[in-house]
Amino acid sequence: MALVGHAGAGKTTLAEALLVATGALPRAGRVEDGTTCLDSDDVEARQQRSVTLGVATVEHEGTRITLLDTPGSPDFVGELRAGLRAADAALFVVSAVGGVDASTVQLWEECAAVGMPRAVVVTQLDRARADVEETVRLCRTALGAGVYPVHLVDRAPDGTVRGVVNLLEPGAAAEDADRLRSELIEGIIGESEDEALMERYLAGDELVQGDLMSDLGTAVARGHFHPVLCAAPLQGVGLESLLYLLVHGFPSPQEHGCPPVTRPDGTPAPPLSCDPGGPLVAEVVKTTTDPYLGRVSLLRVFSGTLRPDTPVHVSGHGGADRGHPDHDADERIGAVSSPLGSALRPVAACPAGDVCAVARLTTAETGDTLSSPGDPRLVPPWDLPVPQHPVAVEAASRADEDRLGPALARLAAEDPTVRVERSRDTGQLLLWCVGEAHGEVLLERLRTRHGVAVTTVPVRVPMVETLAGPARATGRLVKQSGGHGQYAVVVVEAEPGPPGSGITFAQRVVGGAVPSNYHGSVEKGIRAQCAKGVHDDRPLVDVAFVLVDGKAHSVDSSDAAFQSAGALAVRELASAAGTRVLEPWCEVEVVVPAEHVGAVMSDLSSRRARVTGSDAAADSDRTTVRAEVPEIELLGYAGALRSVSHGTGSFSRRPLGHEPAPASLVAVPA
């Protein structure tokens, strides 16, 4: 069961209370104190919020329940998607104070698109300004059809919460209870299509909770019936009813099904079923580094049974770009453990449908598939955002520089939403993140978990230059100081080429003024100088050069001399014609709900963007805005888009080319 919802809704507090209610913990920790079981990361304790996927497996009424506590911030959507991949159902946690926000609605729609069974639990009933009835109404309005309240709040005369009224049981003495109970029963029967139960209901039989649970479970498993429950975790209100529903009303792994699989080479493989006796297929949904155990992999077993000391084949990442070739290696499983936050409890085996932790897998990373070496399989990767927020980092010392590379590799292995890149144009080491908060957490982990101190520097956007117009210049290298000298003279004409044409070279030398064996040397010198640039190390691009004349010496001319003369000619041409500084532009697609399109277009306009069009999706209220934007204006855009779209927007980019940069961005050459 994945607990999902916006930040601050109370997911971790609810999970902590459920662990206490099932006897897994003696007492509940507090998020404010950094003592909760599921927020075990040091960063989570300091920031008082979840930034990683927390996992705990408990037992209740003979049923194993794995709670997957996901972060609510959009910056950590990778952890959220991992939790949904490992889950059989999603429990949307909604605050009675904050209500349903746009990001919750967006996530609900994503789960609906893949048929994920869903339910809602309204928490923080006891908070000031809590309005449970209005929150339930908003859930029914914002989340669409199939949302039915199962609980009503029972309050004392002074307004304090003393319990919940269960509409699955007859005789509820609350306002509107009869109407809501009738709607609930009819919704269950309509979705489960149980004609026998329908006949009993129409005949006036008094149906109790036991009569309805089987059909409620069927309705929830089909993904179109969504019960709404209420809970006050700190007071223990509603927890028993919630646990009863989790055990009896939610789909088992056999009902939820398995993802499709292929062979590692992409050829089809037989479909999986959640059968402990079937072929072994498990997926790494989370990777962490423990100071004592090393790399710890959290696995969801889809088929077969994972046992200690078992050989497995590691396949990854289904074509995803992780900075190295896909994994294709054999390893051996060590101990198998059941997770309870950061605590690992050894188990004899992990059957299909369960979640477990395995330590010291040397090659397996998040998103990899573990299967039998004799019959390897590959589970396709889940959807993840492409990181769009760059952070430029430098090692604080020589010792840190030696440790920085391996530490960044471990971060990328743990988090598939991280990309590490050495910029080819600027030489900067870039850590690509989902957003600013994501970047801050990664830097903190480098310092505390991996012992590497880094400093951040401004991200540099590479500018280039081209000639401002046509010109003709002479590159002359004449050095004679006794003995063997250097002699090369070249006359070169040049003019700006079309955007994207690159550096071209031709020759129109007449009469052998420059011997043909030196033509390639001149070209080599020209290209080397263009790559180096003539001002502020900005490369020269999109110029057509023509060698038209020159002189050579029978003794003192050489390949090196004509290379130098070609480079000198480039500098003379730039001085004669002048240069224009060009900046890179990107083609951007921004996807947001229709209500935020105006704000997005206004923000893009402030970034010198050219909006080229927009398309409304036929099956949702989301709109794709297309624009051309200077790359320098995209620095920090991930956070800006999150602000103007209330966390519901996303964007992608691809290089478009170069255009003249405004004077404010051009440094005056020395």
pLDDT digits (tens, 9 = 90+) for 407-424: 998 898 888 899 999 998
Is the pLDDT at 669 greater than 50? The verdict is: no
For 309-319, what is the mean pLDDT? 83
The closest alpha carbon to 590, from 655, 641, 636, belongs to 641
Complete DSSP assignment for 522-533: HHHHHHHHHHH-
pLDDT greater than 80 at residue 116: yes
Does CATH number 3.10.330.20 belong to domain 464-577? Answer: no
Fold of 389-457: Alpha-Beta Plaits (3.30.70)
Give the helix, strand, coil percentages of the chain, each rounded to 5: 30, 30, 40
- Whole-model pTM: value is 0.87
Both structure tokens of 130: 């809590």
Contacts 24+ apart (CB under 8 A), 537-540: 538/462, 538/463, 538/464, 538/465, 538/581, 539/425, 539/462, 539/464, 539/465, 540/464, 540/465, 540/466, 540/467, 540/503, 540/570, 540/574, 540/579
Nearest to 193 by CA among 177, 214, 207, 208: 214
**Cis omega before residue 596 (within 30°)?**
no
Per cent of the chain over pLDDT 90 is: 69
Strand partners, 68: 2, 55
In angstroms, the CA 231 to CA 227 distance is: 13
Mean residue pLDDT of the chain comes to 91
Q: 3-class DSSP state for residue 444?
A: helix
Which tokens belong to 315?
A: 């396949």
Contact 88, 253 (CB under 8 A): yes
The region of weakest confidence among 14-18, 100-104, 446-450, 483-487 is: 483-487
Q: Look at residue 484 in the predicted model and tell me its pLDDT.
A: 75
Strand, coil or helix: 121: strand
pLDDT at 497 over 90: yes
pLDDT value for 318: 55
Token look-up 């070209």 returns 523
Residue type, 530: C
Which of these, 169, 216, 224, 226, lies nearest to 194 by C-alpha position?
A: 216
pLDDT of res. 670: 36
Q: How many angstroms separate the first and last alpha carbons of the chain? A: 63
- The two tokens of residue 403 are 């440790």
Q: Are 318 and 406 in contact (CB under 8 A)?
A: no
**Which residue is listed with tokens 């889950």?**
87
What is the CATH topology of the domain spanning 581-665?
Answer: Alpha-Beta Plaits (3.30.70)
Percent of the chain predicted with pLDDT > 70: 97
Q: Which of 251, 240, 246, 316 is nearest to 282 (CA)?
A: 316
Give mean pLDDT, residues 430-455. 93
Q: What's the pLDDT at 16?
A: 95
Same CATH topology for 281-371 and 389-457: the answer is: no
Sign, Cα dihedral of 355, 358, 361, 366: positive
What pLDDT is stored for residue 381 in this prediction? Answer: 86
Query: At 664, which helix (H) or strand (E)?
Result: none
pLDDT over 70 (residue 324) = no
pLDDT for the residue numbered 435: 92
Under CATH, which architecture does the 281-371 domain have?
Beta Barrel (2.40)
Residues 115-139, mean pLDDT to the nearest whole number = 91
Of 220-234, 301-315, 361-375, 476-490, give the lowest mean pLDDT range: 476-490
| Domain locations along the chain | 2-256, 281-371, 389-457, 464-577, 581-665
At position 172, the amino acid (one-letter code) is A
- The CB-side HSE value for 614 (13 A sphere, CA atoms) comes to 18
Report whether CATH 1.20.120.140 matches the domain 2-256. no
Strands 2-4 and 63-69: parallel
Q: At what angle do helices 398-414 and 436-448 cross, to 10 degrees?
A: 120
Residue 130: what pLDDT?
Answer: 87
The per-residue DSSP string of 123-177 comes to E-TTSTT--HHHHHHHHHHHS-TTEEE-EEEEE-TTS-EEEEEETTSS---STTH
* The pLDDT value given to residue 273: 92
32 pLDDT tier (thresholds 50, 70, 90) = confident
pLDDT band at 3 (very low <50, low <70, confident <90, very high): very high
Contacts of 587 (CB under 8 A, 6+ apart): 626, 627, 628, 653, 654, 655, 656
Most confidently modeled range among 13-22, 100-109, 129-138: 13-22
Does pLDDT of 452 surpass 80? Answer: yes
pLDDT bucket at 276, cuts 50 / 70 / 90: very high
What is the Cβ-side half-sphere exposure of residue 131, based on CA atoms within 13 angstroms?
9
Report CA-CA distances (Å) from 503 to 390, 499, 659: 30, 11, 16
Residue 620 has pLDDT above 80, yes or no: no
More confident call, 128 vs 542: 542
The whole-number pLDDT of residue 321 equals 61
